[in-house]
Amino acid sequence: MLTNSVKKSLQIAQIQKLQANIVKSDLDKFTNSVELSKVVCKVHVYLTSVSGKQVIKAEPEKTNTQEKFVNHYLGISKNWFNDLKNAGKAIEEKPEIVNEYLEECAKVEAEKKVNVPRSIVKLNEFFKESKLEKPTPPTNESEAGEEGETGEDKAPTKSSSVEAKKDVLTFSFAGASLGLSNVSIRIGSDGQFKTSNDAGQINDAISYFLQALKGSGLMDVEPPVIEAGTGTAKKKAKSKKAAALQEAHEFFTMDSAE
């Protein structure tokens, strides 16, 4: 049981409020995520302090590591916590970085007429690139020949971290006809996972998909073939389709898959 003092240090109430305010709109989600990153950055400072480490150490086994502790009490995964923490540190180091990032996004949208996502992950990339100093231009031909000729040492521009969003995976399940919930999932090239469904509804859809896949016969793999006279067993290669489907099945049935 956490004390009121520890709860205050973890800023649980504020984190829960900010998480509840993260809505579907990319810009609104980003704005609230920025505020959340500032809070998480402070929480990380506390958790890595002597007091914070003692609190975690005193926890039962299921919450006695920073990752488990954060996931249990704050409802934040390890990767998301690290992304938020890094963004918070970036904002502390360079407060104007958020405005610079938003301006760059708007600039790319205006020039290329495409939708550009605003995300914490992209903000972190933008911050890293903003810290890279462009090499000093060569002053004569000899200097150009030594380093600048191939262009390999050229620092990337900040806009390289601001890319147009593309859907790399879409999944649609008309579950209503089966007495289940309809499910729609999109994952963009920026890594953003978008769905209005909860984990249980998604699990029902994936379970139905895996059962259908299993019954289709596409997962069947032929047994190994022994070549006469060689003394060695050589497995007959799976078809590309069977191999790909097998990998998909293993991914979705792994305990660690999220």
- pLDDT band at residue 181 under the 50/70/90 scheme: confident
More confident residue, 37 or 150: 37
Indicate if 3 and 65 belong to the same structural domain. Answer: yes
CA 90-78-48 angle, 5° bins: 65
In a shared domain, residues 156 and 194? no
Task: Please indicate, yes or no, if residue 88 is contained in any of the structural domains.
Answer: yes
Buried b (16+ CB within 10 A) or exposed e, 149-177: eeeeeeeeebeebbbebeeeeeeebebee
Phi, psi (deg, nearest 5) at residue 107: -65, -45
Rounded to whole angstroms, the Cα distance separating 217 from 219 reads: 5
Residue whose structure tokens are 């462009």: 134
How many structural domains does the chain have?
2
102-120: pLDDT as tens digits:
999 999 888 888 888 889 9
Q: What are phi and psi of 90, to 5 degrees?
A: -65, -40
Asked whether residue 84 falls in the same domain as residue 117, the answer is yes
**Distances from the Cα of 39 to the Cαs of 19, 73, 89, 98, in angstroms?**
11, 14, 10, 16
Query: Is residue 258 assigned to a domain?
Result: no
- Its domain, for residue 36, covers 1-136+149-163
DSSP character at residue 69:
H
Distance CA 195, CA 172 (A): 10
Q: Are residues 57 and 125 in the same domain?
A: yes
- Tell whether 94 and 61 lie within a shared domain: yes
Looking at the fold, whether 109 and 21 belong to one and the same domain comes out as yes
Mean per-residue pLDDT, 27-33: 84
The predicted structure's pLDDT at residue 241: 57
Distance CA 38, CA 23 (A): 18
Same domain, 6 and 105: yes
Type of residue found at 123: L
Spatial separation of the C-alpha atoms in residues 197 and 182, rounded to whole Å: 8
Q: Amino acid letter at 251?
A: F
pTM score: 0.53
Residue that the structure tokens 């104007």 belong to = 96
Q: Provide the pLDDT for residue 143.
A: 38
> How many Cα atoms sit within 13 Å of 97 on the Cβ side?
23
Confidence at residue 189, expressed as pLDDT on a 0 to 100 scale: 64
Is 190 found in the same domain as 126? no
199 pLDDT above the threshold of 50: yes
